[in-house]
Amino acid sequence: MMQITIERKSLEQIETGALIVLVFEGRKEVRFGAGDLCDAGEVAGKSLELTLLHRPPGVAATRVLLAGAGKPEKFDSAELRKVVSAAVRHLKSKSVKHIALALEPEHADGEYVSAAVEGAILGDFEPDRYKTDDDSKPVEAFAVVAAGGAADLDQAVARARVLAEAQNFTRGLVNEPANRLTPSKVAEAARQMASEYQLECEVLEREQMQKLGMGALLGVAQGSAEPPALIVIRYRPAQAGSKTHLGLVGKGVTFDAGGISIKPAEGMEKMKYDMAGGAAVLGAMRAIAQLKPAIPVTAFIPCVENMPGSRAQRPGDIVTAMSGKTIEVINTDAEGRLILADALTYARQQGCTHLVDAATLTGAIVVALAHLNVGLFANDEAMRDRVLQAAKAEGERMWLMPLEEDYKEYLKSAFADLANTGGRWGGAVTAAIFLKEFAEETPWVHLDIAGMAYLEESKPFLAKGPTGVPVRTLVRLATEWKD
Ligand code: BES
Ligand code: MN
Ligand code: ZN
C-alpha cells in the first residue's frame, strides 16, 4: 500500500526521488534552473507536458518533474487529478518510488489534496496481474507538500485513499478475463469484499430467481453453462430512520458474446468488460462501507454470461419478467436491459426509494457521446440533479440524454408488452426507455457507461483497460445525500 503523507516543510527541504511541480501556461518557472527551458519554449505549461530535471539546484529532491497544468483559469481539481496521475505514471516507468507534489497555498485545500492523492493511486494501477515477468514498480510513498495550506488535510487524504482504492478494486475486477471471472466468481469476490468491510451479502441462485419469476434474467443466463447469480449487498447506517433507501444496480455480464445474435469476432475480447457497471457498484459499496453515509444503500448486481449455447434463448422468444411484463426478445445481444429489468423490479420490491443503475448498455451511447461522457437518463428531476452534481464534483463527466414518453413507440411488439430492441435509431435512448418500464415510478437514474468504462489505449494519465467510472460519483451520491 502506498504511504501517503502531508508535508509541512518548505519545498527546498523535501527529500524525495522526484518532486512534482506544476507549471501553468503563461507563467514562467525560474526555480530549479528551469528558466532557460521556459525561455526556449521547451517548458510551456501545456496540460500534461512533462519535463524531468535531475539534481536541480536549490532543492533536496533528487529530481524535479515539471508538470504542465494548462491555463491557470481552466485549472481545477479534475485537471490536478489527471496531471498527478500522468506524472506518477511517468515517474514509475523510470522506477522512481518516492514522489512528492508541491501544491501552492491557494490549492492546498481538501478538494485539491483529495484529487492529488486519487491521481497518485489511480496512476499507480497497472493491469499486469497476469504478466509473469514481475517488473512492476509500485510507488511506495507519495507526499503532498502543502506548507501554507489548510490545517486539517488528513481527512481529505483518508477519503481519497478509500475512493481511489475502491476505484482500483473495480478496475482490477473489470480487467479479469471471463474464463477466470464467471458469475459465480463475481459472487465470491462480492462475498469476500463484503465480509472484509462488514457488509451484508446475499447471492440469489437460479432456483430462487425462478421462484421470483425473473424470466428476463433467466432467459439470458440459459445460453451458458455458467449459472447466473444475483448479488445483493446491504449497507445499513448506525442510525436508522432515514426515509431514503438508495439502490445501486450494476450490469454484470461477465462475457457478452451476443448470444444467438452473436457479435462479430473483431473486438469481441472487450466484452469481458461487460460487467463494468456491476464492478463499479461493488467498488462503490466497498467505499461506502468505509465512509459510512447516513442513508441505507443496497447493491443489486445481476451476473450472467451471454452465450450462444444449445439451450440459449432465440430471437422471437417471449419471456415474462418479474414485474409481470412480457418481452419479445428480438435480439439476444440486447441482454443488459433484460437482466437489469428484473434487478430493478427486485430492488423496488426490496424497498429502495431511489435507484441508480450503471451499465455498459449500448454501442449507440458511444456513437452519441464518444468516449468523453457517460450518458445519463432520469425519470425524476431531483434525482437527475443529485447525480449530475455528484458527478461534477468528482470530475466524472456525464451528459443528460432524453427520456421522453413518445420514444416508447419504438419498443412496440405485436406479440408481447415490449420488444427488447427499438431499431436502428436512438439505440441508447430506446434501451433507457426499456429500463424505465421497470423502474416504474421510483425516482431513478440510468448511466450508460459503454463509452467510459474502459480505455482502448492507455492515456498518459490512465492505463489501458478499465477506468473505474462511475465509482466516485456513486459514493459521493450516497455520502452527500440529504433527505
Ligand atoms: N454490451 C453491449 C454494449 C456495448 C457495446 C458495450 C460496445 C461496450 C461497448 C450490449 O449488450 C449490446 O450488445 N448492445 C447492443 C444492443 C443492440 C443489439 C440493440 C448494441 O449496442 O449493439
Ligand atoms: Mn449485448
Ligand atoms: Zn452487453
pLDDT in tens, 215-272: 999 999 999 999 999 999 999 999 989 999 999 999 999 999 999 999 999 999 999 9
Per-residue model confidence (pLDDT) at position 152: 87
Tell me how far the alpha carbon of residue 360 lies from the centroid of ligand 3, in angstroms: 6
d(CA 75, CA 68): 11
Residue 262 beta carbon below 6 angstroms from any ligand 1 atom:
no
The residue ranking higher by pLDDT, 152 or 293, is: 293
DSSP classification of residue 454: E
pLDDT at 150 over 80: no
- Quickly state the pLDDT bin for 147 (edges 50, 70, 90): confident
Mean pLDDT of 431-437: 98
pLDDT at 80 over 80: yes
Please give the grid coordinates belonging to residue 294. Answer: 447516513
Residue 430 beta carbon below 6 angstroms from any ligand 1 atom:
no
Residue 450 beta carbon below 6 angstroms from any ligand 1 atom:
yes
Q: How far is CA 22 from CA 69, 71, 97, 307, in A?
A: 6, 11, 19, 49
Per-residue model confidence (pLDDT) at position 270: 98
Q: How far is CA 145 from CA 103, 117, 123, 345, 461, in A?
A: 6, 12, 19, 49, 21
Active site (annotated) includes residue 337: yes
The number of residues in the chain equals: 483
Give burial (CB, 10 Å; 0-12/13-18/19+) of 33. Answer: middle
- Residue 396: alpha-carbon gap to chain centroid: 9
Per-residue 3-state assignment (H helix, E strand, C coil) for 407-437:
HHHHHCCCCCCEECCCCCCCHHHHHHHHHHH
Tell me how far the alpha carbon of residue 285 lies from the centroid of ligand 1, in angstroms: 26
For 218, half-sphere exposure in the C-beta direction (CA atoms, 13 angstrom radius) is 17
Q: How many CB atoms lie within 10 A of CB 408?
A: 15
Tell me how far the alpha carbon of residue 295 lies from the centroid of ligand 1, in angstroms: 33
Please give the grid coordinates belonging to residue 456. Answer: 482502448
Residue 448 beta carbon below 6 angstroms from any ligand 1 atom:
no
Q: Under a CB-based contact definition with an 8 Å cutoff, are residues 259 and 314 in contact?
A: no
Tell me how far the alpha carbon of residue 265 lies from the centroid of ligand 1, in angstroms: 14
pLDDT at 137 over 90: no
pLDDT at 89 over 90: yes
Catalytic residue among 337, 348, 384, 472: 337
CA end-to-end distance (rounded Å), the chain: 36
DSSP classification of residue 123: H
Atom of ligand 1 nearest to the CA of 430: 19
d(CA 70, CA 330): 49
DSSP classification of residue 20: E
The residue ranking higher by pLDDT, 77 or 151, is: 77
Residue nearest atom 7 in ligand 1 by C-alpha distance: 363
Query: How much is the pTM?
Result: 0.98
pLDDT digits (tens, 9 = 90+) for 315-327: 999 999 999 999 9
Please give the grid coordinates belonging to residue 222. Answer: 440459459
**Ligand 1 pocket mutation pick from 251, 269, 362 by most atoms within 8 angstroms of CB:** 362
Residue 364 beta carbon below 6 angstroms from any ligand 1 atom:
yes
Catalytic residue among 31, 191, 263, 270: 263
pLDDT digits (tens, 9 = 90+) for 161-201: 999 999 999 999 999 999 999 999 999 999 999 999 999 99
